[in-house]
Structure 1
Amino acid sequence: MKQKIIETIESYDQIIIHRHVRPDPDALGAQAGLAQLIKEHYPEKNVYTVGDEEASLQFINKMDEIKDEQFSGALIIICDTANTERISDERYVKGDKIIKIDHHPNEDPYGDVIWVDTSASSVSEMIYELFETWQELKGMQMTKEVARSLFVGIVGDTGRFRYPNTTERTFRYAAELMKQPFSPVELYEKMENKSLNMARLEGYILNNFKYLENGVGTINLSNDLLQEYGITTSEASKLVNTFSDVEGLKAWVFFVEEPDQLIRVRLRSKGPTINGLAQNFNGGGHPLAAGASVHSWEEAKLVLNELQQICKNHKV
Structure 2
Amino acid sequence: MENQIIKEIQNHSTIIIHRHKQPDLDAYGSQLGLKEIIRENFKDKTVYVVGDTQQYPYEHTMDVIDDSVYEGALVFVLDTAAEALISDTRYKLGKTLINIDHHRNDSNINPDLFYHRPDLISCSQMIGEIAIKGNLRFNDMAASHIYAGIVGDSGRFQYISKQNAKHTFDVVARLMEYDIDLQSLSDFQQLETLAKRMAKEKFRSFSLSDHNVAYRFNDFKSISESGLTFQDVSRGTVNIMAGIKEVRIWANFSENEKGEIIGEFRSKDVSIVDIAKKFGGGGHANACGATLHSWEQALEVVQCFDERMVESNV
What does 1:78-227 correspond to in 2, within 5 Å?
78-109=77-108, 110-135=110-135, 140-165=136-161, 167-206=165-204, 208-227=205-224
Distance in 2, Cα, partners of 1:279 & 1:149: 29
Distance in 1, Cα, partners of 2:241 & 2:92: 40
Alignment RMSD: 1.6
Deviations 1:226-266 (A, max 9, x none): 11111121222222212210111111110011012111001
The one-letter code matched in structure 2 to 1:30 is S
The one-letter code matched in structure 1 to 2:78 is C
Distance in 1, Cα, partners of 2:312 & 2:81: 26
TM-score (norm 1): 0.93
Are residue 230 (structure 1) and residue 227 (structure 2) matched?
yes
Secondary structure class of the residue paired with 1:303? helix
The one-letter code matched in structure 1 to 2:83 is T
Deviations 1:72-91 (A, max 9, x none): 11111111002111111000
Distance in 2, Cα, partners of 1:39 & 1:197: 40
Aligned equivalent of 1:47: 47
Q: What residue ranges of structure 2 are gaps of 5+ in the alignment?
A: none
Distance 1:190 1:104, change over 3 A: same
Question: 8 Å contact 2:250–2:267 — kept in the other structure?
Answer: yes
Deviations 1:55-87 (A, max 9, x none): x22635321111111111111111100211111
Question: 8 Å contact 2:124–2:150 — kept in the other structure?
Answer: yes
Secondary structure class of the residue paired with 1:214? coil
Distance in 2, Cα, partners of 1:14 & 1:196: 44
Of stretches 19-28 and 109-118 in structure 1, the one that deviates more from structure 2 is: 109-118
Aligned-residue offset at 1:203? 2.1
Of stretches 33-42 and 159-168 in structure 1, the one that deviates more from structure 2 is: 159-168
Query: Aligned residues: percent identity?
Result: 33
Q: What residue ranges of structure 1 are gaps of 5+ in the alignment?
A: none
Distance in 2, Cα, partners of 1:284 & 1:226: 24
Distance 1:155 1:202, change over 3 A: same
The one-letter code matched in structure 2 to 1:65 is V
Deviations 1:195-243 (A, max 9, x none): 344312432233x112333231111111111111111212222222122
The one-letter code matched in structure 2 to 1:98 is L
The one-letter code matched in structure 2 to 1:73 is G
Of stretches 270-279 and 147-156 in structure 1, the one that deviates more from structure 2 is: 270-279
Distance in 2, Cα, partners of 1:253 & 1:106: 20
Distance in 1, Cα, partners of 2:283 & 2:199: 26
Secondary structure class of the residue paired with 1:107? coil
Question: 8 Å contact 2:57–2:188 — kept in the other structure?
Answer: no
The one-letter code matched in structure 2 to 1:12 is H
What does 1:248-259 correspond to in 2, within 5 Å?
248-259=246-257
Of stretches 113-122 and 163-172 in structure 1, the one that deviates more from structure 2 is: 163-172
Deviations 1:162-220 (A, max 9, x none): 114561221222122122112212211123332344312432233x1123332311111
The one-letter code matched in structure 2 to 1:309 is E
Question: 8 Å contact 1:25–1:60 — kept in the other structure?
Answer: no
TM-score (norm 2): 0.94
Question: 8 Å contact 1:263–1:296 — kept in the other structure?
Answer: yes
Deviations 1:109-133 (A, max 9, x none): 5310111011111011111100112
Question: 8 Å contact 1:29–1:60 — kept in the other structure?
Answer: no
Question: 8 Å contact 1:28–1:61 — kept in the other structure?
Answer: no
Distance in 1, Cα, partners of 2:197 & 2:208: 21
Distance in 2, Cα, partners of 1:176 & 1:222: 44
